[in-house]
Amino acid sequence: MMIRTSRWSVVLHILSVILSSLHGCSARDTITMKSSVVDGQTLVSAENRFELGFFGPSRSSNVKRYVGIWYTSNPQTVVWVANRATPLSDKSGVLHIANGYLKLSDKKGKVYWCTEQQNKRSNITVKLNDTGNLILYDVDVDGLGIKLWQSFEHPTDTFLFGMKNDGNLVFTSWTSEDDPAPGNFIFKQDPQANRLLVTNKSIIYWRSWRESGKIFELVNLNITEDDTRVHKNERIVMNFTGDLQYWQLFRGMKDWSLTWWEPKDRCSKYNYCGTFGSCNINSKLPCKCLPGFKPKVSEQWNAGEFVDGCSRNSTSYGTDFLSLKRMKLEYPESSFIINNVKDCRQECLRNNQCQAYTVNASKTDRQLSCLTWIEELKSIQEDQDDGYDLYVRVPVSDIAPTSRSCLTCGTNLVPYPLSTGPNCGDPVYYSFDCDMDTGQLSFMTPGGNYTVTHVNPKESIFDIEMEAKEAVNCHAMHSSGSKILQLNRSSPFNVTSSCSSDFTNDSPLKSTIEVKITWKPPLEPTCNSSADCKEWPHSTCNITGTGQKRCLCNSAFRWDGLGLTCTPGATGQLRDSFNKSKTLPLYLIVSLPIAMALLCAILSIYLWRTKMVKKRAKQRKAHLHRYDTERGVKELMESSHLEGKDGTGIDVPFFDFESILAATDNFSDENKLGRGGFGPVYKGKFPGGQEIAIKRLASVSGQGLEEFKNEVVLIAKLQHRNLVRLLGYCIKGEEKILLYEYLPNKSLDSFIFDESLSQQLEWGTRFNIILGVARGLLYLHQDSRLRIIHRDLKTSNILLDEEMNPKISDFGLARMIQGKQTEGSTLRVVGTYGYMAPEYAIDGVFSVKSDVFSFGVVMLEIISGKKNMRFYYVENTPSLIAYQF
């Protein structure tokens, strides 16, 4: 019985198709109560402009059928979809009139879409007009039709002219190019301000600037379908990409032309750079905070996320205004008529909440309007042809921290020492020009003038734009950028390797590249009198060696070119004394050389006598008898001086054990700096404030008397700035102690393997560390009078001083080789696995190459920040070395 019913339903469906085709022959643009449209049939408007029927996305693998309206011209351009969220899964759909409404159903009777039901309607007709409007009529006996429903009041993603915009029309984009389901972007009228609005879900994506513009006028043009002004070949589409598009089909043309769209670029998006962030489409880095402002969230701003915007550097708004040219941002909601520009400025000053103002001159009655912003500034765009002068309220100290700082140029801060004229900045840096009409900053070079797009005072770097054909490519700028710009060696500016031409597609600068240029830290500020040095504490106006007056730092201070201030330091005192000597009286100038000669003579006599005393002491020690027995070893450990293999004494101070206990507070944990391979290391403080690092060798450390003696002998004879300096030693019973210079930054491994501390190691610092270790090794292998092989070079044995200079330490396993010998061998392989050369670890053969291998491992760890033996970044990679090769 169920089979028969199913067969009869199919037969009835076929009969309905045949009947609908017979009844539909009379009117190609109409559906009556006796006709319908099935998949494969269409309605065509009277003038053959629009067509209604079934369609399906061409790229979809699944069958999805929709009822829609499209232009009859090719390619198919759909302007309205009925069942956009509920597609049919086969071609059995029927569009027909039933029970007072128009509905779409399949062969089983399931309804996929329908209009509102109209009760007590006997003669309903559906007609497709030449405007693209599908209308449901109730036709009376006189042939007059009453509109019951129309598609123009229920649009999808397309605005067609003839639609009446009462402020409630909403257009929703497709999900994708082949999916008409409602997408994320919505186009509508802003309910609070009479502007057009595009939202991405609930977030504003784009908003028209003001209540004007062609698209605004077209959308709000009150016309009827019978009006001769109907724009039949124009449409506005809310595209699935988020673009609001205006399309036109010009007479005699077959293809539609995209003549307008918004947002045109990333800067056109609503508040793209956040509050108080200015957007420049011509720059690779589009957003920057206005002068006097800083990013609210620096981490996100540096990562290219600008939505949080900027905040003021100071909480006070100040009494000055930042003058910005050719700026564009949303107008405030209110304005008032003024007599002159000063009135607008005074009005903003009187209101503590006023953030900025501008003056707008009417083209018709020439009246001046004052517009003030009391809310945070949003959607700021710079360098706009239709922009206006904007005055933003900021404290003077936020845009000119010193009296020598130049005024801002547009949205660019010109920090000291950069100079745009002879009366500001440093004369050496007078290479910039500010166009006061446009607010554009330029960098002037012998090779030409270039637009400055961004200045970063903290990094001492700025960006310029160059024609790509000038630089050829970024590689050319890296290798010879200064030559291309014709910058000589004495120039304080230097082209870096950061050069980019990968502007986004929305940038008009297709043939330009962006070049980064750094500036060197300046010398002390120039001056004419001490009054000019008031802004630089601890400085005095004096003549330098070149005859120029500068604010030189006083005694015990040195000039910090990065911080632009005098900081405590010894070098300042020497230079200050030198410069002051230029103004010394004549009798002092004559007597100084004589005093220096006498001092040199006294020092020479003192050194000669000291040398003779040491020589006699060595001769006495050379005759001492040494025992190989246990008693002899004990006596040696308790002696106050060690001797080398040649029997000569080692010129290293001896410290008594009691003084070391006092300096380390009995080796307390508070003074413990860490633990090395042979024992703990403590920080000791001796009378007078001298700080020393004290290595206390453990009795079970494996470093016996020979290793201890070896380390003292070797370090005592080695003098190099990249080798740790031995200050003394101590032997008492089982205690063997070495005293080194104290290095506050501890060992290299504590920096590079720590997530927070490693951020302090910039590439320049890492390079200097690598270079310093290389110099130290070169000294050990070639330049010292003893050829030394360290045998245990690793990151934990590289110490860092206060200026991050590296010093090689821990010479307990080092070996000295004679003459031209370059290698040796041992049966006892000692050191740290992961840093050992294969020939040493396997066969016990060590050489200068062994240290070079260890240096290579250290260099990889410095660059990558990863430990060699704990590197699991790539699967099945046991070490950092294996990953590299």
Where in the sequence numbering do the catalytic residues fall?
Answer: 792
Residue 75: asked if its preceding bond is cis (omega within 30°), the reply is yes
Identify the bridge partners of residue 435 per DSSP, sorted by sequence position: 440
> Is beta strand 815-817 parallel, antiparallel or unpaired with respect to 787-789?
antiparallel
Of 447, 500, 450, 444, the C-alpha closest to 474 is 500
> Is beta strand 440-445 parallel, antiparallel or unpaired with respect to 432-435?
antiparallel
How many whole angstroms separate alpha carbon 857 and alpha carbon 885?
A: 12
Helix (H, G, I), strand (E, B) or coil at 478: helix
Q: At 567, which amino acid appears?
A: T
Backbone angles phi, psi at 163, to 5 degrees: -70, 135
How many whole angstroms separate alpha carbon 840 and alpha carbon 827?
A: 10
How many whole angstroms separate alpha carbon 358 and alpha carbon 362?
A: 13
DSSP 143-180: S-EEEEEEGGGS--SEEEBTB---S--EEEEEEETTEE
How many whole angstroms separate alpha carbon 282 and alpha carbon 514?
A: 10
- State the burial class of residue 456 (Cβ atoms within 10 Å of its Cβ: 0-12, 13-18, 19+): middle
How many whole angstroms separate alpha carbon 146 and alpha carbon 124?
A: 9
Of 117, 120, 160, the C-alpha closest to 136 is 117
What stretches of 358-404 show up as alpha helix (H) in DSSP? 396-399
How many whole angstroms separate alpha carbon 98 and alpha carbon 103?
A: 7
Q: Report yes or no: 415 and 457 within 8 Å, Cβ to Cβ.
A: yes
Lay out the sheet containing 66-71: strands in order across.
Answer: 42-44, 50-55, 66-71, 77-81
In angstroms, how far is CA 529 from the centroid of its own chain? Answer: 42
Of 67, 58, 156, 155, the C-alpha closest to 111 is 67
Tokens representing 360 are 């707008």
**Geometric angle at alpha carbon 534, from 531 and 540, rounded to 5°:** 75
Tokens representing 144 are 């007059």
Q: At 806, which amino acid appears?
A: P
How many whole angstroms separate alpha carbon 39 and alpha carbon 91?
A: 6
Running DSSP on this structure, what letter comes out for residue 413? -
Q: Please count the other Cβ atoms lying within 10 Å of the Cβ belonging to residue 273.
A: 27
Of 376, 380, 337, 329, the C-alpha closest to 359 is 337
Tokens representing 599 are 């001092």
Q: Report yes or no: 831 and 813 within 8 Å, Cβ to Cβ.
A: yes
How many whole angstroms separate alpha carbon 170 and alpha carbon 320?
A: 45
Identify the bridge partners of residue 70 per DSSP, sorted by sequence position: 51, 78
Q: At 681, which amino acid appears?
A: V
Q: Report yes or no: 680 and 697 within 8 Å, Cβ to Cβ.
A: no
How many whole angstroms separate alpha carbon 195 and alpha carbon 217?
A: 10
How many whole angstroms separate alpha carbon 100 and alpha carbon 123?
A: 9
How many whole angstroms separate alpha carbon 674 and alpha carbon 679?
A: 9
Maximum CA extent, the chain: 142
Running DSSP on this structure, what letter comes out for residue 227? -
**Geometric angle at alpha carbon 286, from 281 and 291, rounded to 5°:** 110
**At which residue do the structure tokens 């290579």 appear?**
856
Backbone angles phi, psi at 578, to 5 degrees: -65, -45
Identify the bridge partners of residue 449 per DSSP, sorted by sequence position: 444
